[in-house]
Amino acid sequence: MSARRDGRRKQGFFARQSLLTRYILIVVSGFLFIPIIIPLASLVYMTTSAIGGGDDVRFTMKYGNAGEVEMDWHAEARSLRGGRPDEVNARLRALADEYPEASLFWVDAEGQTRLRLPEDAEGEGGVPDHWSADDAVRFMKTSVGGDPFTVVAFLGENNGEAAFMALQLPRKLVEAGPSSGSGTTFFVAFVCVSFVLFTALSLLFFLRIRKRLLLLQAAMSKRGEHGLPAPVEVKRADEIGGLEGAFNGMVEQLKAGRERQQEEEELRKKLISNLSHDLRTPLTVMRGHLYTLGKEPLSGAGKESLATLERKADGLGELIDNLLAYTLMTSGRYRLEPEPADVWRLARESAAAWYPVWEKAGIEADIRLPADPLVWKVDKLAFRRILDNLFQNIVRHAAGGRYAGLYAERRDGRLMLVIEDRGPGLSGSSEGKGAGIGLAIVEYLLREMGLAWERESSEIGTRILIYQSGSSETWGDSR
């Protein structure tokens, strides 16, 4: 017990929660993940790119971002005060070297396009030679948000002159186009991984529940001592733990119940034993005195009375034995131990014991049992008792027929043991007829061993057929 408690104490917060709480925790964390994951992903992305990918950014945006380029361009424009064409041309040529991918031009105060760089790109990109107000507006309209990225700056201090210069750069150079694409991939991957993680967690959770349930099931179906399942170890204080606890409680109750039942059975058995003893002791004394009396000189009538008394004493003894046996059997105290045995052999041995009794009663024994064994699963003692009771009945009720037959008969493909007499039949009256407890025992024992019987009775005799009940049984009638 202490080991079990230690084990429970060592477990973490999660393990101590109920299954419901744990599952809700998993689900809630799954939902919380969605709003958390996006900023988290950005953060992770930004930190990783700031740390490991800085050069990369500068490479893809070598002139800085759009704002920086714009600021630079305006600064350049401011520095070209006065707008002398030579000066501006020279400066633009220099700038063209700085921005090799760019196209540049400038327009003087009269709206004349002065220098267009690179020079071979003349007339392209919607740049007219002479700018009207329409042109300017159209140019600005097409340029805003378009590709190329266009910056227009008026020359002079505070960019206040009428002349202006324009810079057109492919947009990808000033906006992190390609890097924003890799960011999306990162996000998708991150969300996918999170989803997989969530699924895996749920799956793991359920697999562990399943495993514990299966273990519990195995423990329940396993039979330990006394045919009861052994208690299981309660590892966690959750619902399954509770189930395991309840199961253990049930096993305890069953065990207690079984013990109580055994005690009661023991008491009952003792009572029956004592009763048997108390009934038989006086009978034994009576029997003894009858025997002594039989040695005395008696008249014919005296001898006859004595014989009757002896017969009654014997019958009473058997009745007590059968009655107590039947009580024991029906209360489940008489446990049968069926094992494969040769039925013919058991019948022969039983007949051997009864033969002298039959001889004495003038009964001719006709025994024709096959030499090949017929193996049934029977409790030998119980089977002998069945035969004893049946043979006893022949002596008591059918001695007048002077015949006891014991043979095999095949009917519907199954071999049967037949016991036949030529008495007045079961319905006929007989001096020794009683409550039929002997036959009740036969009935009970046969049923317990999976055997069945049929009685064919008429006024010229009785045939008792014993066979294995159930057609699915295999028949080991020969080898």
Partner 1 sequence: MNTELLYIEDDREIGTFVVQHLRSSGYEVKWLRSGEQAVEQAEGCKLVILDVMLPGLDGFTVGQRLKKAMPGLPILMLSARTAIDDKLQGLQFADDYVTKPFHPDELTARIEVLLRRSGNHAPEALQVKHLLVHERENRIVNGETGEEILLSGKQFHIFNYLLRHLGQIMTKEQIYESVWGEPYLEGDKTLMVHIRYLREKIEKDPAAPAIIETVRGIGYRVRA
Residue-by-residue DSSP string for 63-118: T--HHHHHHHHHHHHHHSGGG-HHHHHHHHHHHHHHSTT-EEEEE-TTSBEEEEES
Dist CA 344 CA 148 (whole Å): 111
Residues near partner 1, by CB under 8 A: 269, 272-273, 276-277, 280-281, 283-289, 291-292, 313-314, 317, 321, 324-325, 328, 333-334, 345, 348-349, 351-353, 355-356, 365-369, 371, 381, 406
Inter-residue contact 41 to 185 (CB < 8 Å):
no
Residue type, 129: D
Nearer to partner 1, 287 or 463 (CB): 287
As to burial, measured by CB atoms within 10 angstroms (0-12 exposed, 13-18 middle, 19+ buried), residue 144 is exposed
User: What sign does the CA torsion over 160, 165, 171, 172 have?
Assistant: negative
Please state, in angstroms and rounded to a whole number, the distance separating the CA atoms of residues 72 and 167: 11
In the complex, what is the shortest distance from the CB of residue 8 to partner 1, in angstroms, rounded to a whole number?
A: 48
Residue placing its CB nearer to partner 1 in the complex, 237 or 313: 313
Residue 348 Cβ, how far from partner 1 at the closest point, in Å?
A: 5
Of 77 and 406, the one with the shorter C-beta distance to partner 1 is 406
CA-CA distances (angstroms) from residue 318 to 76, 162, 283, 434, 442? Answer: 133, 141, 11, 11, 14
Instruction: Compute the distance between CA of residue 185 and CA of residue 405 in angstroms, rounded to an integer.
Output: 97
**DSSP assignment letter at 229:** P
CB of 326 to partner 1, least distance (A): 10
Minimum distance between the CB of residue 355 and partner 1, rounded to whole angstroms? 5
**Residue 226's closest CA among 193, 253, 254?**
254
- The half-sphere exposure of 418 on its side-chain side, counting CA atoms within 13 A, is 20
- We find the least distance from the C-beta atom of residue 305 to partner 1, in angstroms, to be 18
Return the exposure string of 1-22: e unless at least 16 CB atoms fall within 10 Å of the residue's CB, then b.
eeeeeeeeeeeeeeeebebeeb
Our CB check for partner 1 shows the closer of 56 and 349 to be 349
The CA distance from 14 to 27, in Å, is 14
**Could you tell me the smallest distance in angstroms from the CB atom of residue 221 to partner 1?**
32
Residue 130, phi then psi, degrees to nearest 5:
-125, 130
The minimum distance between CB 320 and partner 1, in angstroms, equals 9
